[in-house]
Amino acid sequence: MGKTVVAVFSGTGNAFRASTLVTQELKVAAHSVETLDLSAGAALPALGAGDTLILCTSTLGFSPPSTVMSRLKAAPRSPGARAAVLFVCGGIMSKGTISGGWSGAAPLVSLALLKSKGYDALGSADASYPENWTQVTEAAMGADQEAIIARGDAEARAFGKAVAEGRPGFIKRNMLTRSLGRFIGFIFRNIARRVLAKLYIADDRCTSCGLCARSCPASAIVMKGGLPSWADPCCACNRCINICPAAAIQSSTARLVLFVALNLVAVFASSPAARALLAWIAPSLSAPAHGLLSITLSLALYGVFCALQLGPLDRLLCTLERKPALRRFFTASFTRGFRRYLAPGFNKE
């Protein structure tokens, strides 16, 4: 029996909790287990034939987190090794019934990357724990939270036992998920997570302790003038908003409204602008060619706007929101009264 490596990436502790239960099941079956914390910067090692890699990770935007994708792409080749993946999803309680999370195409994407590194796919599964997307919604609390955690624990243990016994199965996905799900995940990893990062702001309760910056799994938070600032590597794991001891990190309502309004303007303006530009540059184009180029140019113009939104516009807003006269406007937030969520026992200080 070769060695087994359990690699975990966790934002608020759900995936870390699941990985611990998986490891327990493996050790009961006398597996030699090594644990790697990808959210602490660990890299995937080269494994040999007969070795097993188990990836336990959060699901972000129906996709592996961008940080995990970077680790998978940088992983050394491991011909003959085996790989199984467990994706932790956000579950919710509705009218006394738990609605489990859904990992979308995330298992397919991660196993495809591992196969390109020489791994043989061993299995995949989901485990539902309390939703931690505090940037947008509140997590379940009390008895509801306990019930969802119990479900996630049972799913994690079942996965660990199945891997230990060599009988894990695969999550089945239909063609729509295989295609559209991959596309949605790609958009989230490359665009949406960056936009979500730009919504963060620290309000007047911030004590400048720097815990958010020290604990960020993507090293995306920099303290500037005693306040945190979110940079491009942010993977939207929501650890910062949930771990802040003063509950000072919020989603800025002003930023959200501005971004939505500007994006709507850009979406509706890009097509007329593209047509006008083509009519000026190439008025003699045939109708089919004009239509195709118009669509391409519209997408390009919107892409330019997104780049401006994440660059110069964000820097302008950062400057404005640090002005004392404007702080109250930018720090107003619908998340201010939200309960924060960390998995029981999880501490990443």
Q: Is the pLDDT of residue 274 over 70?
A: yes
Task: Say what the pLDDT of residue 2 is.
Answer: 86
Residue 4 phi/psi, 5° resolution?
-120, 130
Domain boundary among 185, 200, 223: 185
Task: Say whether 9 sits in a helix, a strand or coil.
Answer: strand
> At 76, which helix (H) or strand (E)?
none
DSSP states of 111-180: HHHHHHTTPEEEEEEEEEEE---TTTSPPP-HHHHHHHHHHHHHHHHHHHHHHHTT--------HHIIII
Mean pLDDT over the full length of the chain: 91
From the list 107, 111, 108, 113, the residue with the least C-alpha distance to 121 is 111
CATH at residue 32? 3.40.50.360
56 and 154 assigned to the same domain: yes
Cα-Cα-Cα-Cα torsion 284, 287, 291, 294, nearest 10 degrees, comes to: 10
Residue 121 phi/psi, 5° resolution?
-70, 130
Give the count of beta carbons closer than 10 Å to the beta carbon of residue 193: 23
Q: Domain range spanning residue 308?
A: 253-331
Q: Is residue 206 part of a domain?
A: no
50 and 147 assigned to the same domain: yes
Beta bridge partners of 222: 229
180 and 78 assigned to the same domain: yes
pLDDT in tens, 138-168: 888 999 999 999 999 999 999 999 999 988 8
Domain boundary among 185, 204, 238: 185
Q: Average pLDDT of 29-35?
A: 93
Q: Average pLDDT of 79-85?
A: 96
CA distance 239 to 224: 19
55 and 157 assigned to the same domain: yes
Q: Is residue 244 part of a domain?
A: no
260 and 177 assigned to the same domain: no
